[in-house]
Structures are given as C-alpha cells and as structure tokens.
Amino acid sequence: MNSRPSGNERMVITIDGPAGTGKTSVAHQLAERLELDSLDTGAMYRAVALRTIIKQVDPSDVDGIALAARQIELDFDWSSNPPALLVDGVPVGQRIREEDVDDRVSVVAGNPQVRGRMVRAQRSIAAKHPRLVTEGRDQGSVVFPDAQFRFYLDASPEVRANRRVLQSRSSGQSADYDEVLRSIRNRDRRDETRTDGPLKVPEGATTLDTSELSLETVVDRLVELVLATSPGVTGVSG
Ligand code: DC
C-alpha cells in the first residue's frame, strides 16, 4: 500500500549527492511510494551537454555553452513513469547517459548562465508540480532551500564506480572499473569546487551513507523519515 502525506499542500523533497549514490532511482521510488512527482535535474544538464556536443561547441567556449542552454527547450512528459525528458518536444531517451555526455556534462554544469537557466526552469516545474521529489546537486542548497525535506545521499567513490560498472554492463555497454572510478573522481572534484551551486550538504539536510545499503533499504528509510514528521498519514508503505 502507498502512503501519502496528507492534503494537497506543497510538499517538496530534495535529494542531493554525488554521482552513483542511486539518487535517481531513490527519488523515483520515493515519489511513487508517497504519490508525488519526481524530477531528475541531472538529465536537464545532460541534455544541454548533449546539445553542445551535437553543435560542436568547444568545451572552453563559455558563451557558446550558455547559448546552447538558451536555445534548447526542455520539458518532461509527466504521463510516462518516470517522467521522460523532452528536448524541443522529442524524447531524448538514453542518449544523454552515454560516455561523451558523462565527460562533457560537468563543464556545462559549471557554467553560471546554464545554472541560472536550469534553476529557473526547475522552480517553474515545481510551481506546476508542487508535490515533488527532486534530485541533483543543488536542489536543497540553492533551488529549494525551503523544501520540507532535504536529504543528502553519499557513498564511497569505489562503491559508486562499482555500481556504475554493473549498471552499464546490465544495459549491454562495456565499462572499465578504473576508467569509471577516475571519471567519478574527476566529476566529484568539478562538482564540489565550482563557484556556482557546488555540490555540498544542504543546511539542515539528513545525510545517508548508502555504501552498504540496498536501494530498497534507502527508500524505506526516507519514507519512514518523511512519514514520521508528516501529519495525517493513514498507511505504512512497504
Ligand atoms: O546526476 P547526474 O549524474 O545525471 O548529473 C549529471 C551532471 O549534472 C553532474 O556532473 C552534476 C550536474 N548536476 C548539477 O550540477 N546540478 C544538478 N542539480 C544536477 C546535476
């Protein structure tokens, strides 16, 4: 049985953390359990990164990257589960998860103009979907500092690299552990050291180290934490 925090009032739950902590799956399952919408903000940055690749924008071309972000129209198809990212009205699918996008995305996400645009887009999505689980790097710290619940998921780089390798292999892609670990460390460093919206634990956030926890256990814990402080809940999920 699903449980949901009562009423139709705004309920924003943020989940931040580095790559490979399971944020996207956790956010999606938590949203399902609590009957909320879910938003994958990393997909939005990935879509801009893909556009810069397609348009052959040089990674050092700050204005060219900002222009790509201005020219792209991002939307979600909320009728699919999880909501599918639409780029200029067309579903982008798994293309944004490929290695060239992985390598490009943190440069794009470090661009202040891109971030400004994405932050505005995310707030406007939340205005239309006020009962939302949103995940990324800056959701609790910058975009929704007033969210009712702010979570931060963490795990060691080695565990996260291992998860990514298994994920890639299960979807038929080859993946080299050392290469993935190196890429994760590079991305962490770039995400943590950028001046605008750096990856950090949001003020007042609850941190969960997921290194030794299954996806189900993480979701169960978050559901418990939300339900424990949300009034009027009638059932217990499981
Ligand atoms: O969660 P992910 O791996 O799909 O994110 C892709 C990249 O986008 C990652 O390098 C961090 C960046 N990102 C960000 O800077 N802010 C967000 N809110 C979400 C993602």
Residue 238, pLDDT score: 44
**d(C-alpha 234, C-alpha 5), whole Å:** 9
Which 8-state DSSP code applies to residue 83? Answer: P
Angle between helices 99-109 and 112-128 (to 10 degrees): 100
* Distance in Å, CA 201 to ligand 1 centroid: 15
Please give the biggest Cα pair distance in the chain: 54
With a 6 Å cutoff on the Cβ, whether 135 touches ligand 1 is no
Percentage of the residues of the chain whose pLDDT score is greater than 90: 78
Distance 9 CA to ligand 1 centre (A): 28
Computed on alpha carbons and rounded to an integer, the radius of gyration of the chain in Å comes to 17
Measured from the Cα of 143, ligand 1's closest atom is 18
Determine if ligand 1 sits within 6 Å of the CB of residue 187. Answer: yes
Whose C-alpha lies nearest to ligand 1, atom 5?
A: 42
Q: What is the pLDDT of residue 99?
A: 85
Res 236 pLDDT > 50: no
| The predicted structure's pLDDT at residue 171 | 81
CB 104 within 8 A of CB 52: yes
| CA 104/CA 117 separation, integer angstroms | 18
Q: What is the mean pLDDT of residues 170-188?
A: 89
Closest atom of ligand 1 to CA, residue 187 = 10
Beta partners for residue 15, in sequence order:
135, 151
Instruction: Supply the pLDDT for residue 7.
Output: 59
Separation of alpha carbons 223 and 47, rounded Å = 30
232 pLDDT higher than 60: no
Q: Are the beta carbons of 10 and 131 closer than 8 angstroms? A: yes
What distance lies between CA 237 and its chain's CA centroid?
A: 23
Per-residue pLDDT at 191: 87
| pLDDT one-digit tens code per residue, 36-61 | 999 999 999 999 999 999 999 999 99
In this structure, the residue with its CA closest to atom 14 of ligand 1 is 137
Comparing 149-158, 188-197, 202-211, the range with the smallest average pLDDT is 188-197
Amino acid at 130: P
- The pTM (predicted TM-score) of the whole model is 0.91
SS3 sequence of 188-225: HHHHHHCCCCCCCCCCCCEEEECCCCCHHHHHHHHHHH
Average pLDDT (220-235) is: 78
Domains defined along the chain, listed by start: 14-223 (3.40.50.300)
Q: Which two tokens stand for residue 119?
A: 């932050």
